[in-house]
Amino acid sequence: MDNNKTLAVVADREITELDLQLLLRSLDPQRAMQFQNQEGRKKLIQELIYQELFYLDAIKTGVDKEEDYQRELKKIQENFLKHYTIQRFLSTVQISEAELEDYYNAHKDEFKNPMSAKASHILVSTEEEANNVLKEIEEGLSFEEAAQKYSSCPSSSRGGDLGNFAKGQMVPEFDEAVFNMEVDEISEPVKTQFGYHIIKLFEIKPEGTKSFAEIVDVLSQQLLMEKQEEIYFDKINKLKEEYEIKIIEE
């Protein structure tokens, strides 16, 4: 996309593709979706033309020389300078690879992966129902088919698949049963507050530590924000010594 492409000219003032894109970005995302077509572009170009007409009229009638305008303009310039200076100051802050690695090595306990399991289950109301389902499985019905046929859990549509879950994530009775099973084992009925579960275990992953590569992006953002905050307040404290502050109302 050529941002310098001229879309319209009002008097001697060009309206470019960049002007259109800036207007589009200033809109609420939901509203902006309404203009993501050729008809929408035409409407936005018209709006930019109207704005240019008001601008030209303001210059012609001297609005830019009025005291109220100059006062508002000064406030806008001051606020922009504040935000620009803060952002420029913070943009100089960087986190080195060595800092990230040092932090990771010193805080590995913060990056633990808990023990987890991958399992499926069949949920029924009574122990008798559970035993009957188990009997059908022993006689050749697959666990997945049994789940689809008998389970009252929404996971039945997936053959009872619960996906991966961490130790402590499920209700205590279910959790205890799962993490004491062998891979590929099918449990006896397990009673919980929800009913009776027949569980099939597919995988157990032991507790481990996330690798540096897994967390480096998140860690980089975290440490950068912490370092920016520290340097920001260091700068504030130095400026407080340089300039007098009087708090009139608290």
Q: Is residue 42 part of a domain?
A: yes
38 with 78, same domain: the answer is no
For the stretch 21-63, pLDDT in tens is 999 999 998 888 889 899 999 999 999 999 999 999 999 999 9
Asked whether residue 22 falls in the same domain as residue 82, the answer is: no
Same domain assignment for residues 81 and 127: no
Residues 6+ apart with CB under 8 A from 114: 166, 167, 168, 207
DSSP 8-state symbol, 67: H
Instruction: Please determine, for residue 2, whether its predicted confidence score (pLDDT) is greater than 90.
Output: no
Same domain, 72 and 57: no
Q: For residue range 131-153, list pLDDT tens digits in order.
A: 999 999 999 999 999 999 999 99
Mark whether 54 and 167 lie in a shared domain.
Answer: no
Residues 224 and 151 in one domain: no
Mean residue pLDDT of the chain comes to 95
Last residue of a domain, one of 25, 46, 63: 63
* Whether residue 3 sits in one domain with residue 41: yes
Rounded average pLDDT over 172-198: 97
Q: Both 23 and 54 in a single domain?
A: yes
Same domain, 19 and 71: no
pLDDT band at 5 (very low <50, low <70, confident <90, very high): very high
Is there a domain that residue 191 lies in? yes
What amino acid occupies position 26? S
pLDDT of 29: 87
What type of residue is 58?
A
Residue whose C-alpha is closest to residue 196's, from 129, 247, 243, 107: 129
N-term to C-term CA, the chain: 51
Instruction: Read off the tokens for 43.
Output: 């409407």
Would you state the pLDDT for residue 192?
97
pLDDT at 249: 83
- Classify residue 47: in a domain, yes or no: yes
- For the stretch 206-238, pLDDT in tens is 999 999 999 999 999 999 999 999 999 999 999
Give tens-digit pLDDT for 93-104. 999 999 999 999
Judge whether 243 lies within some domain. no
What pTM does this model have?
Answer: 0.61
- Indicate whether 59 and 134 sit together in one domain: no
CATH code for the domain in which residue 195 is found: 3.10.50.40
Out of 30-39, 121-130, 157-166, least confident range: 30-39
Which domain, by its residues, includes 216? Answer: 66-112+209-232
Q: β-strand 190-192 against 6-10: which pairing, if any?
A: unpaired
Confidence of residue 3 (pLDDT cuts 50, 70, 90): confident
Domain count of the chain?
A: 3
pLDDT at 83 over 90: yes
DSSP 8-state secondary structure symbol assigned to residue 30: H
237 found inside a domain: no
Q: Do 5 and 40 share a structural domain? A: yes
Q: Is the pLDDT of residue 73 over 80?
A: yes
Residue 27 resides in a domain? yes
Do the Cβ atoms of 10 and 56 come closer than 8 Å?
Answer: yes
pLDDT number for residue 62? 97
What pLDDT shows up at residue 157? 95
Residue 134, in any domain of the structure: yes
Are residues 131 and 107 located together in one domain of the fold?
Answer: no
Q: What is the pLDDT of residue 30?
A: 87
- Does residue 244 lie within any of the structural domains? no
